[in-house]
Amino acid sequence: MSNVTQEASQPSEEAARQAAALTATAVEALPEGRLAQQIDAGAPLRIKLGIDPTAPDIHLGHTVVLNKLREFQEDGHKVVLIIGDYTARVGDPSGRSDQRPMLDPEAIDANAETFMEQAFKILDRDRTEVRYNSEWLKMQSDQLFALMARSTVARLLERDDFQKRMAASQPISMLELMYPLLQGYDSVEIDADVEVGGTDQKFNLLFGRDMQAAFGKPQQSIMTLPILPGIDGVKKMSKSTGNYIGVTDPPEEMFGKVMRVPDANLEEYWQLLLSEDPPMEEGPNEAKRELARRLVARFHGEEAPAAAEEHFNRLFVRHEAPEDVEDLEFGEDPAHMPALVATAFNVSRSEARRSIAQGGVKLDGETLPPEPLDYTANELDGRVLQLGKRRFRRLVNGS
């Protein structure tokens, strides 16, 4: 296990102050006191973040770590962004109860390009060094065997994810066992001084220290950061669960998603995304609106929040249709509403009938009654069909 005990030398007051500011939102910074000592040495630190480009888009959960990296950059340090084009083929087992699917190289490369483009909305390009770990991990078999000899299976099996899967008699592939070894070797190759990640990455970050020690290099310090919950307030923000806010979401969609954050998570969102306490003087609704304004401005510019908030008010306060509603041309006369709803919103006819029966379908803001279900084309032409709170189509008679 990595030695994470505090080292003896005392840093200067200024180094201690900088380290305290950088670790203020961290869950853990290990070894305790080590970051201040590193800062006190005077040389710019190399701050590592490893990203496996298994998906193309960044959501606000990713920005918690990226914001911390930007803080390091503003203090004069260099961020080393490692694109795990090689480790992405193995799959990080962190938080997994099964093996991740393998991606083809073309998808990995495309995801990496998109990820970097979005990451530089936050990071300073001039203080970021981008590396691909295929540079050093595409090694000969004798080199790989020598690397594998630097650790033990017992050490690899210490990680909590593997312990849970063994207890449940679930398989662990040899590739997954290799993952911490490979990503830990990244720290050796780039001479990382600090590695940053979510709390679910603690084992991997500590393993980087193990690998550096095995190769006779100075050991990095590590910093773990809280994991942002999704807009459901329960699960980790993730595209796979649909509870995410993407940094490339359109302004009105980003604003609306922020407004769905539970009141109980407001303080967490403000602190992790803006490093501030929420202004609760006017209540949680206004605090959410201000959070939405600030985030939309960050990713879409200072002019975007006003239009995004007006769009939200139109739909959810005044219950009006949005200004730009996609047309749906129909040719049936009379038109059968379950069929029209199914076509307009890509749902099944049975789901369309159920939504009508439950009062979930509207025409020009008025709830569609269960009967009749057939309307003439002239009755529908130019009217706005609505399913639920957020889905609209303007009906156009094409007959």
pTM of the complete model: 0.74
Q: Is residue 277 located within the same domain as residue 390?
A: no
DSSP type of residue 229: B
Q: Does residue 308 share a domain with residue 267?
A: yes
Residues 355 and 385 in one domain: yes
Same domain, 55 and 175: yes
Examine the domain organization and report whether 163 and 61 are in the same domain: yes
Question: What are the pLDDT tens digits along the chain (399 aa)?
Answer: 455 554 557 899 999 999 999 999 999 999 999 999 999 999 999 999 998 887 777 899 999 999 999 999 999 999 999 998 888 776 544 444 444 455 677 888 888 888 888 899 899 999 999 999 999 998 888 888 888 888 877 777 776 777 877 788 887 777 778 888 898 999 999 999 999 999 988 998 999 999 999 999 999 999 999 999 999 998 889 877 889 999 999 999 999 999 999 999 999 999 999 989 999 998 999 999 999 999 999 999 999 999 999 988 887 777 676 777 788 888 888 889 999 999 888 888 888 998 999 888 888 878 888 888 888 888 888 888 888 877 888 888 877
Same domain, 97 and 169: yes
Residue 103, Cβ neighbours under 10 Å: how many?
A: 19
* 303 inside domain: yes
List C-alpha distances in Å: 212 to 200, 359, 376: 21, 63, 74
Do 265 and 375 sit in the same domain of this protein? no
- The boundaries of the domain holding residue 260 are 251-317
Instruction: Decide if 230 is inside a domain.
Output: no
Task: Give the side-chain half-sphere CA count within 13 A for 395.
Answer: 27
| CATH code, 197 | 3.40.50.620
CA distances from 131 to 58, 189, 190 (A): 19, 10, 9
61 CB contacts (<8 Å, ≥6 apart)? 227, 228, 230, 236, 237, 238, 244
Sign, Cα dihedral of 120, 122, 123, 126? positive
Residue 393: inside a domain: yes
